[in-house]
């Protein structure tokens, strides 16, 4: 009958379930202990198997700790024991853990903005650039959430709540609002927590913000590039060329197949249309993200933003999230500087070869 034996690097080889005199539970936990099977429970067999096991760990596979002399099982056991014995002491300091940067600690903030319209602006060199005008909606922090997010209440000029739930009123009372500022659609109010519209936005690190703080256009002072998220315009029912990017058929030479989907499967086998076949249909309602847009201007008096390029959504109807990630902006600026230096070095080397 095989019994399990235990190897203690600090003491000696002992049968399983026994401990040296004066040993405590803490000593057993901190000592490097490994179990391996023995062919007998006698002391002589334990000593023989222990010596053989020690030779396998140091000199190589001279034998096997198993009675069937299986080299494969001996090698697997030796590798497992080496991994176990190489573990460090749990009380040993690990300075590399202090260098970990958690995502919740990276500076990042989001504000809510209403898409107003698109326009164009003149650059200092006289060229025109497309731009989008956004109206920032002041939002009040009413609760801090996990993963660097905060729950904010804002006044939506398009959708207002005439009656508020008690759960919403309880959250609003944390920042001193009774919810009596609910207004009709199109009206404005100075209380940004009155309408009961709530959404989660990034406000990290949480130590830089307090409960009841208002997030408006002033939160983007110093930003050079922003990321805009929102729901795009709906296209309704789309064909396969617009929905999935099909090439389509020939346009001339008597062809009558221009924008059709073509065949949807085989005939006899499998004799059906397989699930997931790409066909025409309605475009799903998903969120679109436009990254690293240049922030051309910020107006603190009117809470207006001017970003370069186009953003998703309908003018005057879509509420967007404008995010400023400082770590990403610093990374992009560093890449631009390195690319500029590399281009200058390349030009100098090219001039040197020409001369």
Task: Please give the Cα distance from 100 to 96 (Å, whole number).
Answer: 7
Q: How far is CA 176 from the centre of its chain?
A: 34
In the chain the domains, ranked by start, together with CATH numbers, are 105-180+194-233+282-335 (2.40.30.10)
Strand partners, 305: 134, 298
Handedness of CA 250, 256, 261, 262 (dihedral sign): negative
Q: Under 8 Å CB-to-CB from 320, ≥6 apart: which residues?
A: 112, 113, 114, 115, 134, 228, 229, 230, 311, 312, 313
Largest Cα span, the chain:
99
Strand partners, 288: 230
Tell me if 141 sits within 8 A of 149, measured CB to CB: no
Record the pTM.
0.61
- Residue 336: CA count within 13 A, CB half-sphere: 6
Helical pair 71-85 and 43-58, crossing angle rounded to 10 deg: 80
Instruction: For strands 3-8 and 108-122, give the pairing.
Output: unpaired
Closest C-alpha to 220, from 206, 202, 198: 202
Q: How many CB atoms lie within 10 A of CB 31?
A: 12
The 10s digit of each residue's pLDDT in 94-107 is 666 666 667 778 89
Q: Where are the alpha helices (DSSP H) in the chain?
A: 25-30, 43-58, 71-85, 166-172, 240-244, 326-354
pLDDT per residue of the chain (355 residues) written in tens, 0 to 9 = 444 444 444 444 334 344 444 444 334 433 433 444 444 445 555 556 555 555 554 444 444 444 445 555 556 665 555 554 555 566 766 666 666 667 778 899 999 999 999 999 998 888 999 999 999 999 999 989 988 899 998 888 777 666 777 888 888 877 776 554 443 333 334 445 556 788 999 998 888 999 889 999 999 999 999 999 999 988 889 999 998 999 999 999 999 999 999 999 888 888 899 999 999 999 877 889 999 999 999 999 999 999 999 999 999 988 999 999 988 898 889 999 999 999 999 999 888 887 7
DSSP conformation class of 26:
H
- CA angle, corner 123, sides to 117 and 129, nearest 5? 40
């Amino acid at each position: 009958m095989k019994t399990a034996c235990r190897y203690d690097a600090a003491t000696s080889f002992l049968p399983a379930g026994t401990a040296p005199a004066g040993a405590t539970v803490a000593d057993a936990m901190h000592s490097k202990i490994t179990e391996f099977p023995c062919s007998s429970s006698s002391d002589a067999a334990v000593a023989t198997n222990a010596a053989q096991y020690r030779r396998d760990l140091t000199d190589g596979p001279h034998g096997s700790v198993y009675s069937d002399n299986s080299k494969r099982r001996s090698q697997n056991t030796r590798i497992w024991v080496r991994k176990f014995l190489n573990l460090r002491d749990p009380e040993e300091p690990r300075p590399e853990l202090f260098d970990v940067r958690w995502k919740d600690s990276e500076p990042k903030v989001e504000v809510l903005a209403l898409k107003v319209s698109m326009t164009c602006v003149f650059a200092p060199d006289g060229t025109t650039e497309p731009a989008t005008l956004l109206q920032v909606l002041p939002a009040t922090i009413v609760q801090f959430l996990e993963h660097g997010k905060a729950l904010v209440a804002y006044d939506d000029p398009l959708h207002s709540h005439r009656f508020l739930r008690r759960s919403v009123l309880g959250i609003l009372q944390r920042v001193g609002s009774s919810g009596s500022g609910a207004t009709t659609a199109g009206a404005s109010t100075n209380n940004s927590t009155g309408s009961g519209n709530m959404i989660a936005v990034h406000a990290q690190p949480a130590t830089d913000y307090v409960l009841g703080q208002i997030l408006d256009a002033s939160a983007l002072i110093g930003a050079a590039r922003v990321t805009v998220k929102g729901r795009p315009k709906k296209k309704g029912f789309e064909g396969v060329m617009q929905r999935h990017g099909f090439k389509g058929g020939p346009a001339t030479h008597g062809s009558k197949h221009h924008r059709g989907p073509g065949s949807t499967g085989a005939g006899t086998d499998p004799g059906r249309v397989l699930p997931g076949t790409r066909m025409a249909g309605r475009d799903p309602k998903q969120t679109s993200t436009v990254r690293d847009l240049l922030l051309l201007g910020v107006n603190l008096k009117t809470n207006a933003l001017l970003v370069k390029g186009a953003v998703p959504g309908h003018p005057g109807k879509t509420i967007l999230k404008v995010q400023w990630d400082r770590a990403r902006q610093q990374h992009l600026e560093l890449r631009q500087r390195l690319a500029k230096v590399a281009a200058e070095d390349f030009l100098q080397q090219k001039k040197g070869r020409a001369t």
